[in-house]
Structure 1
């Protein structure tokens, strides 16, 4: 088992003991986040899911301002239907689309109270903050690392 995959398996075993069962694989484009997640799905039998699957018709039909409030329940139904020990969420960039009116990190944290989630975070950890990789945006989006477990990939 590759070292990174083994490290993720060991870390998720620790994370799943907490209230929020969320682990972020952090790295820029081409860092191997998706590759590691596919390996985990194959080796561990965990459920690999592209976040576009969370963008259900039910969610998209809501008025934009209602999406943030309803997204946890709607996404929770999608994840619950998977009946997975661990859910590997890839492609979370779709959650950051301005038209969605979501706070993706808050959504992931809420979902992780019910499901054990490993999510691919496009960006880096810098200065004690989680930074989202942005293209064409002057100011990067930053989030406090408050009790969030991360593994950085180069």
Structure 2
């Protein structure tokens, strides 16, 4: 499997992300996020227009497009915030594989690549966190296999915070 995480973003990829966000029930509550993505591509006529500078705001906000054999199969969003005086905390806010590509092990491989890339890119990162429902058995399994532990005291509704130290 030839997977890569691309940080250069084209308008067509944002359109696909937006389409996914609008259709995914768990994500529909993030209306402001959909508006931000829509504003990014609203006046863009050519789908291959590079919109990276409108979305990538390192070190605070990062998008990664997930490609397998040159097919856009999903995306990951992450942002960093100060952890303490000595480092950053990086939060994976969403990892999405488009419906037609699910069940092929892409989430686990993308997470594995992302974790390595984030710790390499941000040498002062102290830990990475990711939130998910405990009902999302596949995601919980992937996170645990990759060294994340659940922080049950931070339960928000049915969403739990998982963390992994460097």
Task: Give the TM-score band, short-chain normalised.
Answer: 0.3 to 0.5
Normalising to structure 2: TM-score of the pair? 0.31
Question: Which is greater in Rg?
Answer: 2
Name whichever structure is richer in helix by fraction: 1
Normalising to structure 1: TM-score of the pair? 0.33
Name whichever structure is richer in strand by fraction: 2
Higher RCO (CA 8 Å, separation ≥ 6 residues): 1
